[in-house]
Amino acid sequence: MNGALRREPLAGAFGVLCLITSVLVAVNSDGIRVLSDGLTVWFVAAFAVTIVVGEWFHISAPGFRGAAPIAMAAAFGLALATELPGGIQLSYGAPSVLAVTAVSMALGTTVRVAARRDTSLVDTAGRFVAIAVVTLVYRCAVMAQTPASPLGMMTAVPWQQAVLLLAICLVALVADALFTSVVRGLSAGVNVGRTFVAEFRSSFALSAAVAVTGVLIALAAPPLGIAALPLFLIPLVLTLFAFRRYVSIRATYLQSIRTLSRLTDAAGYTPAGHSERVAELAVRLGRELGLSERELLDLEYAALLHDIGQVALVEPIPGGATVLAAPADQRRIEADTVAIVRETGVFEGAAQILEHQTTPYRQVRELGEEIPLSSRIIKVANAYEDLTAGARTLRAREAAIERIYLGLGYEYDPRVVDALLKSLDDAIAV
């Protein structure tokens, strides 16, 4: 959903966290001490501006979690830095770190929303959770700092300190993935463990780079001061540009798949734009049901190619509506679709989804058969598009929903149908 704020559960969590941390810094002596130290103010201000800019340059792509690596690395550096050149101790404590990062992230997110950029408050809240873990574990637990006391001294040798800081950052990043997985998994009623594994796998490489960068900024602050911030962010910025280049290549790849999906349209087997409409609706349903970015990517590929097997038919199905075909014909089209997709050698994830796109939901309920959620989503999305024939009138929608309800619990997964109704209601509201 480009150019809009994603409607996700606990979307107000980040705003509440911002409010709480702002109150914390406003009412304790730590905030007063920071404001009275001009050097610390400039140091903190530089990090705050970087976090705002980093939130603006948020990155996301099909198959990957949304991330703001520049903002995260800067926030980690702010939380872990303890000293400036000349042995000057940084006077701020954990409440100030949390307040500065929360307000900066909120400002950056607000600017993105105002600019109609794709924004996820759950992902943003997850990043704040990671920053809170780093701040509280390091400054409060390891360094034993309290709001009324200065920072303690680190007695470990440099390499041990570096390992400790890196370990804290990695734990925080796991907490981020766990938080977002629990929120999305519980809200959608899907397996939280599986969602967590998918979330963590999709973000591990970039998360590791963020953790290393944050630690390097903190360790370089004593000899370099504020110069450590831009110096060690440069590699991450270059990585960001490389990632954007990769995203553009993936977009071209997706466009090629879209072109292949139009083969049935060009041959007259399906109405124009059918596969693209099914893919768009399926992705909306998948997002509503809490699928990971990797799963959404496979779902989109599968939905675009779900009818490609119709090219093997001698006579086209009237209107290309496979939902109205006999079950044996549906299974034959499914088998031909899977064979064609597997022939490409690069869409195995999509092929596994398409293997069950016509399987009735009752086989899950009565026989305990494993049918991927993505397959059930495509079954519902395709049925809706077949029954409406692309029409968006209220009458066409009600007629399609009525037909789908006749197969509720037998042909179609009730959770997916509920997600369909919510998605259609949201589309009308917009």
d(CA 343, CA 325) in angstroms, rounded, equals 25
Question: What are 204-215's pLDDT values in tens digits?
Answer: 778 888 999 999
Enter the tokens of residue 319. 């209107």
d(CA 127, CA 258) in angstroms, rounded, equals 34
Report phi then psi at 183, rounded to 5.
Answer: -60, -50
pLDDT of residue 150: 54
For the chain, which residues make up each domain, given as ranges?
Answer: 13-249, 262-429
- Say how many C-beta atoms besides its own lie within 10 A of residue 171's C-beta: 15
pLDDT of residue 169: 93
Q: Which fold has domain 262-429?
A: Hypothetical protein af1432 (1.10.3210)
SS3 content of the chain, % helix, strand, coil (to 5): 75, 5, 25
pLDDT of residue 12: 47
Q: Which residues, listed in sequence order, are joined to residue 88 by a DSSP beta bridge?
A: 84
pLDDT of residue 378: 94
The amino acid occupying position 186 is L
pTM: 0.67
Angle between helices 192-224 and 293-305 (to 10 degrees): 130
Rounded CA Rg of the chain:
25
Q: How far is CA 81 from CA 45, 98, 190, 218, 221, in A?
A: 14, 14, 39, 4, 7
d(CA 49, CA 107) in angstroms, rounded, equals 10
DSSP 151: -
* Residue-wise DSSP of 317-349: PGGG-GGGS-HHHHHHHHHHHHHHHHHHSS-HH
Q: How far is CA 234 from CA 133, 207, 220, 239, in A?
A: 25, 16, 14, 9
Distance of CA 168 to the CA centre of its chain: 23
Report phi then psi at 84, rounded to 5.
Answer: -115, 170
pLDDT of residue 117: 80
Low-confidence ranges of the chain (pLDDT < 50): 1-4, 7-13, 26, 32, 35
Residues 6+ positions from 337 with CB-CB distance below 8 Å: 305, 306, 307, 308, 309, 310, 354, 357
pLDDT of residue 327: 82
pLDDT of residue 4: 44
Q: How far is CA 120 from CA 128, 172, 377, in A?
A: 13, 19, 22
d(CA 303, CA 316) in angstroms, rounded, equals 20
Answer whether 184's CB lies under 8 Å from 122's CB.
yes
d(CA 244, CA 103) in angstroms, rounded, equals 27
SS3 call for 67: strand
Whose CA is closest to 182, among 169, 200, 165?
Answer: 200
The amino acid occupying position 418 is D
The amino acid occupying position 282 is A
The amino acid occupying position 46 is A
Tell me the torsion sign for CA atoms 141, 147, 148, 152.
positive
Enter the tokens of residue 171. 């734990």
d(CA 412, CA 361) in angstroms, rounded, equals 5
d(CA 172, CA 168) in angstroms, rounded, equals 6
